[in-house]
Amino acid sequence: MSKEIFEKLTSSIIMGEPEATVEATQEALAAGIEPMDIIRQGLMPGMNVVGEKFSSGEYYLPDLIIAADGMRQAMELLEPELHARHQTLESAGTVVIGTVKGDIHEIGKSLVATMLSANGFKVIDLGVDVPTQKFVDKVKETGADMVGLSALLTTTMTVQREVIQALTVAGIRENVKVIVGGAPVTRGWAKDIGADGFAEDAMGAVAVAKQLMGKG
């Protein structure tokens, strides 16, 4: 009986049907299935398949996003249940992410945020045109493991360097890993400015983030 429900959960994620995911999650809870099992045996297998299909070229960005949306909606139902059982889903890490000051591009950054969330990271998305100090303050406030900095203009990518410097000045550079990305950003640039990681796209960012957390 639970096998059927797990299959429903998994396939709703793979088919990109968030409504069906919500329905199946409610059904699973009503049937007394543990939230942890719902996640591990129903939802995550679906997300993994979606990730594989994207890598193999069968799925595209909208497919990733809609699957992640289904995941997010399911988690909204499950989090209170976990909380009530004094359980927490082990987070892959906490990431503060944003597009640097002076830059309003958000698609790439939002894609990375979505994919990180879908892969078990706790993501604090500061949005776009984020003042440098705000990154620093948020890292301090949350004790984040990582900071993701997005810049899409050559005129704004230098701000990534400034954020790293600001973290150093605040004395917390050692406590946090910095990942940079965006169209003009290259591996060479990331190295030059002392970033810990660089990724060219959202899936790459997830891989790098996992690696930096020692789980890659």
Partner 1 sequence: MRPKLNILSDGLVEQIKQEAFGLLLDPGVRVHNKEALTLLAEAGAQVDFEKRIACIPERIVYQALESAPREFILFNLEGRPVVHYGGDSVQFDPGSAGVSVLDDLSGVQRPPTTADFIKFVKLVETLPQYDAQSTAFVCRDVPEGIGDLYRLYLALNFMRKPIITGAFGIETWWTMWEMLVTVAGSEAALAEKPLAVFDVCPSPPLLWSDLTSQNLIDCARKGVPAELISMPLAGATSPITLAAAVVQHTAESFSGIAIHQLAKAEAPVVWGGAPAAFDMREGTTPMGDVNTWLIDCAYIQVGKTLGLPTHTYMGSSDSKLLDMQSGLESAGGTLLAALAGANMVSGGGMIDFLRCQSFEKLVIDAEIIGMARRLIAGIEVRDQPIALEHMRKSAHKANFLSQPHTHKWFKKELYIPSSVIDRGSLDAWQKKGSQSCDRRAAERVEQLLETYQPNPLSEETRKELRQIVQRAALKYGMQELPPLD
Rounded to a whole number of angstroms, the minimum distance from the CB of residue 202 to partner 1 is 7
- Do 209 and 198 contact (CB within 8 A), yes or no? no
CB of 121 to partner 1, least distance (A): 19
Q: Is 108 in the site for partner 1 (CB under 8 A)?
A: yes
Closest to partner 1 by CB, 2 or 186: 186
Report whether 74 contacts 80 (CB < 8 A).
no
Is position 191 an interface residue for partner 1 (rule: CB under 8 A)?
no
Would you count residue 202 as binding partner 1 (CB under 8 A)? yes
Question: Interface with partner 1 includes 181 (CB under 8 A)?
Answer: no
Nearest to 135 by CA among 107, 189, 172: 172
55 contributes a contact to partner 1 by CB under 8 A: no
Tell whether residue 60 is a contact of partner 1 (CB under 8 A). yes
Residue of the chain from 3, 56, 62, 84 that contacts partner 1 (CB under 8 A): 62
| Beta strands across the sheet bearing 121-125 | 121-125, 93-99, 146-150, 177-181, 197-198
Terminal C-alpha separation, the chain: 34
Amino acid letter, 88: T
Half-sphere exposure of 25 (CA within 13 A, CB side): 25
Give the nearest distance from C-beta 50 to partner 1 in angstroms: 14
User: Which one of residues 87, 133, 155, 168 is an interface residue with partner 1 (CB under 8 A)?
Assistant: 155
Asked if 183 is part of the footprint of partner 1 (rule: CB under 8 A), the reply reads yes
By CB under 8 A, the residues from 14 to 53 that bind partner 1 are none
Listed in sequence order, the DSSP H helices in 103-213 are 107-118, 132-142, 158-169, 187-192, 202-212
Among residues 111, 118, 180, 206, the one that binds partner 1 under rule CB under 8 A: 111
Between residues 42 and 108, which has the closer beta carbon with respect to partner 1? Answer: 108
- Give the residue with the Cβ less far from partner 1, 7 or 63: 63
> In whole angstroms, what is the distance from residue 130 CA to residue 73 CA?
27
The CA-based dihedral angle spanning residues 48, 54, 59, 65, taken in that order and rounded to the nearest 10 degrees: 70
Cβ atoms 206, 119 nearer than 8 A: yes
Give the total of residues touching partner 1 (CB under 8 A): 15
Q: Write out the residues near partner 1 by the rule CB under 8 A.
A: 57, 60-62, 104, 107-108, 111, 154-155, 158, 183-184, 201-202
